[in-house]
Chain A
Amino acid sequence: MAEPLTDARSTGGQRVRRLGARIGWPLTRRIGGAVFVLWAVATLTFFAVRLIPGDPAQAILGGPGSQTSPEALAAVRAEYGLDQPVIVQYLAQLGRLATGDLGRSYALNMDVGPLVLSQLGGTLLLAVLALTVAWILALGLATWSTGRGRVARRIGSGLEIVAAALPHFWLATTLIVVASVWWGILPPISTADARGLVLPVLTLAIPLAGFLGQVMRESLTTALESPFVLSARARGEGERGVLWRHALRHAALPAIGLSGWAFGSLISGAVVVETVFARPGLGRTLLNAVTVRDVPVVIGVVMVVALAYILMTILSDLASRLADPRPTTSTAGGAQ
């Protein structure tokens, strides 16, 4: 999928230059933008958290109900730097974040960085698997139901709309009832082995496949009606070749561009899925932290998710630039 269709006779030098125009400058700009967004996310969360009513020192010592002496409160304030002016706290926070220090959890008595890192792997595995399965499902349904007449198209698009409307929590409980309680073939809670991953991955993948499929079908239909497909047919390309070699690449573009967004929605879906399947991960950590108002953990998770999300959007942006079969027209700024 990597090299542009028009490149058949171009020299290596041209190819590199073209690749540079497609990726180099946009990439630099995107990285600059990413740093800005991360800074803004950190700033926004820092000041949003200041709006929480109540004394943070009290929260650290076990919430409003706990008996705390003024000395203990003062000690905690000094330890966490809460006695400093807001601007000092803000700059200190930015400095810590820049060095990768996410602070210390109020509730769990451990540093947020290692906590988040230990939970990140499971969630990433879940998200990547779900994204893959969603792509396979969406591609399968779109290619099956396109060019097969009205009934197939209706069925395909109906399935996609329903799939996209399925809430994770309901799909998860329904899958548990059917696959675990009635059939007894899969565990209802997510165990460490592969069998325990099936239901959580399906729960995340099916609604996402609905979204991706809707986008893919629309662009696939447009692509199949465009002149380049006609000319491919005229050259004697079979239906299968037209679909796989020519149309799909165009059809996949918007869906590839959506992958960054999809990844973000997967992470937020992980909050629900990890809770339902009692699976350790970033989402469940975040939910627990929100429930007990463990501010540093929430900020830590939010920062990590924002970073992962930004990286994914950059990657999906690059991927759609690479997969775009249309030749780039200008040297700078890319096809957009």
Chain B
Amino acid sequence: MSELEITAAASARPGDQDDQQDGRPGSPSSGPRARPSVVEIAAGLLALFLLVAAIAPRLLAPGDPLAIDPLSAFGAPSWSHWFGTDESGRDIYTRVIDGARDSLVIGVSATLIGLGLGAVLGTVAGTLGTAVDFTVNRFLEVLFAFPGLLLALLFILVFGPGAGSAIVAVGLSTAPGYARIIRAQLLRVRSSAFVEAATVQGLGRGRILARHILPNTLAPLLVLGTLGVGQAIVWAAALSYLGLGAQPPAAEWGAMLAAGRTYITSAWWMSFFPGLFIVLTAVCATALGRAIERRMRHA
């Protein structure tokens, strides 16, 4: 598989065209202090909402997520229960808000594991010479032959299901992609003019690496991470949905969706709303990642 694919897969940036074309020279949207677009503001607000939900869920949903009320079981969305109720009369809205913490923690931890591994592999490949580079690249190629969730499933086969397994499994499956991007970025930075200038000035190899190459290579990690959190949440939720990640009593969104699967013909809201929040989080992460990227590029 060529470099092109992975870089394209991970950093396809259709939004950029818009901004390059719309951003007339001198217009407020072209500088580093660009005025945020409507989409960016919406994504920011949504992120804020999700963060509050994760840190202080009772602020947004004062009820008890585990309070059962058999009389109002399977209630359709209404004024008293915005997202309806589940089979024991628990309020879905309260549970979705309550599930934000688990879902975000799982997504963020998995992304950190993936990025960390990817950064180490990519940096090792890009700095320790051609033999190491060759070896790491072959290793990555092998990992890529376990597409998507396959590596995660293999990991769960070995270490058993559960939320912890799901975090590591998703982190592992995303690491090869990150490693490729980071390596490509490192090679790009290494051949850039300012590194050449530093070499000409007689700086040592280690100093150039530490002061010039690595900071510029690792800066995009923030963008990659933000973009990746959405995907990690989706994958972790997929594992929960399949019964291999967080287990049902937890209000994690994937697990809630799985629990609602049984009642899909009679109570669609049980699986619709947790899933909607997964989608919103993923879209929000994508929009924020792109916004950060754009600002970093202009800065």
Contact = CB atoms under 8 A, between A and B. Distances in A.
A40 B142 contact: yes
B286 A36 contact: no
Contacts of A317: 1-2
A161 interface: yes
Interface stretch (A17-25, A90-98, A107-115, A302-310): A302-310
A167 B149 CA distance: 13
Given A169-B237, A261-B9, A272-B238, A305 B147 contact: yes
Contact of B147 (A48, A181, A254, A261): A261
Contact of A41 (B142, B230, B244): B142
Contact of A309 (B9, B14, B145, B279): B145
Given A173-B275, A268-B148, A160 B153 contact: no
B150 A268 contact: yes
A36 B141 CA distance: 10
A306 B145 contact: yes
A44 B142 contact: yes
Nearest to A314: B1
B279 A264 contact: no
Interface stretch (A78-86, A149-157, A192-200, A226-234): A149-157
A260 interface: yes
Interface in B247-299: 254, 257-258, 260-261, 264-265, 268, 271-272, 275-276, 278-279, 282-283, 286-287
A161 B275 contact: no
A154 B38 CA distance: 12
A218 B12 contact: yes
A263 B276 CA distance: 26
Contacts of B258: 169
Given A150-B18, A170-B257, A218-B12, A310 B145 contact: yes
B13 interface: yes
B150 to A, nearest CB: 6
B279 A48 contact: no
Contacts of A309: 144-145, 147
B56 interface: no
Contacts of A264: 144, 147-148
Interface in B117-157: 138-139, 141-142, 144-150, 153-154, 156-157
A167 B146 contact: no
Contacts of A302: 146, 150, 154
Nearest to B241: A169
Contacts of B287: 161
Interface stretch (A3-11, A68-76, A238-246, A284-292): A284-292
Contacts of A52: 157-158
Interface residues of B, number: 60
A221 B17 contact: yes
A230 to B, nearest CB: 17
Nearest to A268: B148
Interface in A35-73: 36-38, 40-41, 44-45, 48-49, 51-52
A165 B234 contact: yes
A331 to B, nearest CB: 20
Contacts of A45: 154
B198 interface: no
Contacts of A37: 138, 141-142, 145
A311 B105 CA distance: 37
A157 B14 contact: yes
Contact of B14 (A218, A289, A291, A295): A218
A254 B244 contact: no
A174 interface: yes
Given A153-B17, A174-B272, A214-B14, A181 B265 contact: yes
Given A181-B268, A258-B9, 16 more contacts: A37-B138, A40-B139, A40-B145, A41-B145, A150-B22, A161-B14, A165-B286, A169-B241, A169-B275, A173-B260, A173-B261, A174-B272, A177-B268, A217-B14, A261-B1, A261-B9
**What are the nearest 6 A-B pairs in CB distance?**
A264-B147, A268-B148, A170-B275, A165-B282, A214-B12, A306-B145
15 contacts: A51-B158, A150-B21, A157-B18, A165-B234, A167-B234, A169-B254, A173-B261, A215-B12, A261-B1, A261-B147, A272-B238, A289-B157, A290-B244, A293-B157, A305-B150
